[in-house]
Amino acid sequence: MKTPDPIRIAMWSGPRNISTALMRSFGTRPDTAVIDEPLYAAYLAGSGSMHPMRAEVLASQPNSWREVVTNLLGPVPGGKAIYYQKHMTHHMLDSFGRDWIGRLRNCFLIRDPRAVLSSYLLKRNEVTLTDLGFVQQRELFEREANRLGSPPPVVEGADVLANPPRLLTQLCSALKIPYSESMLSWPSGRRDTDGVWAPAWYESVERSTGFAAPSAPTPIALPDPLLRIADQARPHYEVLAAYRLGADGV
């Protein structure tokens, strides 16, 4: 009997969302292999962007997007039935091909721009709209919606934190895979599958054993230059937010 083709899931997120926690969640599944931001080194090589641990990232992954894609579409680590790929939308430079994305089951993770900026500045002192990936995320979302003839799944990080079982059940249903309660918790600590950049970015998630309860909303004060970036990002965020799982009618 022919072995079924593996299911390849791409979760497209901007930085400073719950993307690593979601990777932990999928990584608890016995049927799933995960990979952490496989295009990071190719993005750094192509953009020249100066990120924390730049040299280490460049040395840890292929610097060619074509080589990365060949690996992503090749054998799944461990022969698992599902291959969960955590992607950052800002890593998709204009020079990178996109046709391969149609061979994946694509979904999108979003967060309010002001919250993203407030968190991002804890790690880097300078930021541009391009760094946050909102424009690229909308482009990828609309490309996939046009290919499918309907919007692909969208999840809001705050919604996942507010009710993990509900949103994960809906996400798994949208991806046509079974939901597993194992996705709700995981052991603390680092993983072999974490990117080499984990020491610079993953301090909180390494302490976690599940999805943290959402904190009470508080006003996020940003200086005027960052407010302008948030205002530029908002229309792109709102396009996807209109389709988020758990919203009325979705």
Tell me if 58 is assigned to some domain.
Answer: yes
Tell me if 246 is assigned to some domain.
Answer: no
What is the token pair recorded at 191? 């993983």
Query: CA 108, CA 19: separation in Å to the nearest integer?
Result: 10
Q: Which positions ≥6 away from 5 have C-beta within 8 Å?
A: none
Q: Is the pTM of this model over 0.85?
A: yes
Nearest partner of 194 among 56, 24, 54, judged by Cα = 24
Query: CA 69, CA 210: separation in Å to the nearest integer?
Result: 30
Q: Is the pLDDT of residue 38 over 80?
A: yes
β-pair type (154-156, 105-110): parallel
Tell me if 170 is assigned to some domain.
Answer: yes
Residue 85: other Cβ atoms inside 10 A: 22
Tell me if 249 is assigned to some domain.
Answer: no
Q: Report in angstroms the alpha-carbon separations of 181 from 79, 125, 195.
A: 22, 39, 26
Domain that residue 181 falls in = 7-241
Query: CA 231, CA 235: separation in Å to the nearest integer?
Result: 8
**19-23, 46-50, 106-110, 245-249: least confidently modelled range:** 245-249
Residue 214: helix, strand or coil by DSSP? Answer: coil
Residue 129: other Cβ atoms inside 10 A: 17
The 10s digit of each residue's pLDDT in 152-181 is 999 999 999 999 999 999 999 999 999 999
Which CATH number covers residue 158?
A: 3.40.50
Q: Is the pLDDT of residue 220 over 80?
A: no
The 10s digit of each residue's pLDDT in 79-115 is 999 999 999 999 999 999 999 999 999 999 999 999 9
What is the token pair recorded at 79? 């022969």
Query: CA 235, CA 64: separation in Å to the nearest integer?
Result: 32
How many C-alpha atoms does 5 have within 13 Å on its Cβ side? 8
Percent of the chain at pLDDT exceeding 90: 82
The better pLDDT of the pair 248, 118 is held by: 118
Query: What pLDDT is attached to residue 70?
Result: 98
Quickly state the pLDDT bin for 44 (edges 50, 70, 90): very high
Tell me if 157 is assigned to some domain.
Answer: yes
The answer to whether 116 and 132 are in contact (CB under 8 A) is: yes
Tell me if 218 is assigned to some domain.
Answer: yes
Tell me if 110 is assigned to some domain.
Answer: yes
Query: CA 70, CA 73: separation in Å to the nearest integer?
Result: 5
Average pLDDT, the chain: 93
Query: What pLDDT is attached to residue 3?
Result: 66
Query: What pLDDT is attached to residue 7?
Result: 98
- How many domains is the chain partitioned into structurally? 1
Query: What pLDDT is attached to residue 122?
Result: 67
The 10s digit of each residue's pLDDT in 113-154 is 999 988 777 666 678 999 999 999 999 999 999 999 999 999
Strand partners, 83: 8, 33
Query: What pLDDT is attached to residue 246?
Result: 86
Query: CA 110, CA 161: separation in Å to the nearest integer?
Result: 13
Residue 109: helix, strand or coil by DSSP? Answer: strand
How many residues are recorded in the chain? 250
